[in-house]
Amino acid sequence: MTSPQNPWQQEPSQQPDPYQQGYSQQGGQPNPYAAPPVDTGTTLAAHRPLTVNIAFWIAVLAPIVVTLLMGASMLSISEFIGQTVGATITEQDIPENMTRDEFRSAMMAGVMLVFGFLLFLFAVLTTLWIVFGFKMRAGRNWARITLTVFAAVWLVFMLPNLFGNGMTSVDTTQTVNGQTVRMDEVPTVLTALNISIGAVSVVSTIAFLVLVWLRPSNWFFSAAKRA
């Protein structure tokens, strides 16, 4: 006489695999032995090439450094103008209800207002660089394209600074009563700041453009697009 079959016994093919991913077959409960799901962002971060990482830090740090140098340069220019503006002011330039010192102070207030607006504009652009830099680091190809356009425009805009002819340069010749008057020589620190702004901008921009379009970077953004 044969013993009855064990009703709880299952065929080997029907037994659940303890290492199966996802959920168990009964009750839809999570399988404690299942491998954790793979996060796409974690996978991209693990395979992010060095070229993208370096380009990211350039996008974050270079605009901050340039903005700080620009602020120091504008401060030096304002001091230089304040010391030499008296040489170009004539009695005809001064309104009747103002003294020479009041007129000079009003001119300097206008200069500082312009410089303040420029620094605010640089701060906004720096913020955009940083925000788009994080998006690019996350694999967003549109951020890479946007920063490429920014970098190309910035390169053309800042290239003259390498030769001392950028936006922070100063013209030391003025026309007074039909005659050309030469102001004091530009301070060495202002020239050094002007060249430094150009050097940092040009070198970092070229490096960024090269890094984000190298083959490893292209592979990374293509994989991120498919993910």
> What is the reported pLDDT for 97?
76
Put residue 171 in one of left, alpha, beta given phi > 0 → left and psi -120 to 50 → alpha.
beta
> What is the reported pLDDT for 67?
93
pLDDT tens for the chain, 227 residues: list them: 555 555 445 454 455 444 444 444 444 555 554 434 444 555 666 689 999 999 999 999 999 999 999 999 888 888 877 777 666 666 666 777 777 677 777 778 888 898 899 999 999 999 999 999 999 999 999 999 999 999 999 999 888 877 766 555 555 554 444 444 454 566 788 888 888 998 999 999 999 999 999 999 999 999 998 87
Q: Closest Cα to residue 181, out of 91, 105, 111, 89?
A: 89
Q: Closest Cα to residue 207, out of 64, 47, 51?
A: 51
pLDDT digits (tens, 9 = 90+) for 64-83: 999 999 999 888 888 877 77
Distance CA 153, CA 145 (A): 13
Helix (H) or strand (E) holding 180: strand 179-182
Distance CA 170, CA 193 (A): 12
Distance CA 33, CA 28 (A): 14
Helix, strand or coil, per DSSP, at residue 68: helix
The interaxial angle of helices 50-84 and 100-137, nearest 10 deg, is 180
The interaxial angle of helices 188-212 and 141-158, nearest 10 deg, is 150
> What is the reported pLDDT for 192?
85
> What is the reported pLDDT for 110?
83
Helix, strand or coil, per DSSP, at residue 134: helix
Give the number of C-alpha atoms closer than 13 A to the C-alpha of residue 43, restricted to the C-beta side: 10
